[in-house]
Structure 1
Amino acid sequence: MLARQMVNFVYLIGDRETGEAVVVDPAYDPAGIVAEVEADGMRLTGVLATHYHPDHVGGSMMQFSITGVAELLELVSVPVHVQGDEAEFVRMTTGIGEGDIRRHRSGDLLPVGEIQIEMIHTPGHTPGSQCFLTSGKLVAGDTLFLEGCGRTDLPGSDPLAMYESLTQRLARVPDSTILYPGHLYSALPWASMGDTRRTNYVFTPRSPEQWLAMFGG
């Protein structure tokens, strides 16, 4: 029931030639994710975490226990790639060990076979939220949805940092890039960044002051 309510997306990014794949935000059904990878003739080589909230990486949420990264690591031994500012939160939320975590900075590149995944630090929803840019696609977690963006009224959230992430840190992402959000909070599951910038109300404010008036809580 919680999974139906939260409508999270889990993404797999892989190289068909080498058979390597990584999973983004493997919550709710880690065994099913591993089975899906293997059925597709691929092998899992890593986890990418957009941020530490339990509906993305597993843990306790609203008195529910969500399976996630910790249970996935019981099935496959792979590193968990997180933004440096988020590492301790991921560890505490999931219970995984420090040795399982790989800390990254914005701009780091993660090779998956011949594919390069760029990690972009986009604080706002959480201090260490990150997006993943690869081959004309942006996996954005809870930083940006087709309609709206991640909440900025939660512990650790920062409305002004979210404004900077959306208008500056993601500004260089071309309009032709396809946006893949962390939740199905819209009629369509994906859209171009150009369409999103034209239609998403979070891009209406033209200054930090206007943004804070609308989204500063």
Structure 2
Amino acid sequence: MILEQIPIGPMQNFGYVLGDGKTKEGAIVDPGWDADTLLSAAKRHGLLIKKIILTHAHYDHVKALQEMVDKTKAEVVIHEDEPFDAKRYSTAIVLVKDNDSIPIGGLKMKVIHTPGHTPGSICLLHGRKMITGDTLFVGGCGRVDLPGSDPEQMWQTMQKLRKMDDGIEIFPGHDYGDTPSSPFGHEKKHNPFLSSGTKEDFFGERL
């Protein structure tokens, strides 16, 4: 699998280029800014972008969505619970749910529904790599004090993610940590939101 993490925009965002090295079919994840930067990376890998995947729909993750759709004609993939009118941007919309698979050439990205930051937040898992959007950062997790966010759901999501294999590496939606990515084993020990022992501990850290 091709996975390139790309710093974009003024808010420490990461966008991602995904691709199948054999078929050369590709996807862009979270085109918040700098569409041309993301497309240039895809071109370096020889990828034809067929999908634009949104981990969630906050403006800093979709600001360049229309430009990306116009330049690629790719379909837009988003969780069915995310409160976002994707049809404003494209007529080719794919709604996904927990445990669905998103095909990218011969690859299959597993959808993991991780509500809390937003109702339709998702993570994307293939092999030992997981794109976590604004659900889980290196050393942190997404805010739960925004419209549509839910602390209780985020707590449940953290319990779900704590079950992930220690060797899976997370690739977050923002460059907020000491490193751009990190294995779950490290996060379970050092990320206070993933390692919180009780719900009260978690709320004490996050709220």
Same fold at TM > 0.5: yes
Give 1:75's aligned amino acid: K
Aligned residues: 200
Greater alpha carbon shift after TM alignment, 179-188 vs 33-42: 33-42
Match of 2:89 in 1: 96
Structure 2 Cα separation of the partners of residues 197 and 204 of structure 1: 5
Identity of aligned residues (%): 34
Match of 1:147 among 139, 145, 161: 139
Structure 1 Cα separation of the partners of residues 40 and 137 of structure 2: 28
TM superposition shift of 1:90: 4.9
Matched, 1:43 2:38: no
Structure 2 Cα separation of the partners of residues 46 and 203 of structure 1: 30
Whichever structure has more helix as a proportion of its residues is 1
Structure 1 Cα separation of the partners of residues 140 and 182 of structure 2: 13
Whichever structure has more strand as a proportion of its residues is 2
Normalised by the length of structure 1, the TM-score is 0.87
Structure 2 Cα separation of the partners of residues 110 and 190 of structure 1: 22
Structure 1 Cα separation of the partners of residues 121 and 175 of structure 2: 18
SS, match of residue 26 in structure 2: strand
Matched, 1:73 2:79: no
- Unaligned regions of 5+ residues in structure 2, if any? 1-7
Q: Is this contact kept in 1: 2:113–2:120, CA < 8 A?
A: yes
Give 1:41's aligned amino acid: G
TM superposition shift of 1:121: 0.5
Judging changes above 3 Å, is the alpha-carbon distance between structure 1 residues 204 and 110 closer, same or farther for their aligned structure 2 residues? closer
Match of 2:168 among 160, 171, 177: 177
Match of 2:201 in 1: 210
CA RMSD of aligned residues (A): 1.7
TM superposition shift of 1:119: 0.5
Q: Is this contact kept in 1: 2:141–2:193, CA < 8 A?
A: yes
Give 1:71's aligned amino acid: E
TM superposition shift of 1:205: 2.4
Q: Is this contact kept in 2: 1:143–1:150, CA < 8 A?
A: yes
Q: Deviations over 1:48-72 (max 9, x none)?
A: 10001011111xxxxxxxxx11111
Q: Deviations over 1:112-164 (max 9, x none)?
A: 12211001110000111000001210100000001110000000010110011
Structure 2 Cα separation of the partners of residues 56 and 206 of structure 1: 31
Normalised by the length of structure 2, the TM-score is 0.91
Match of 2:78 in 1: 82
Structure 2 Cα separation of the partners of residues 164 and 18 of structure 1: 37
TM superposition shift of 1:188: 0.8
- Unaligned regions of 5+ residues in structure 1, if any? 59-67
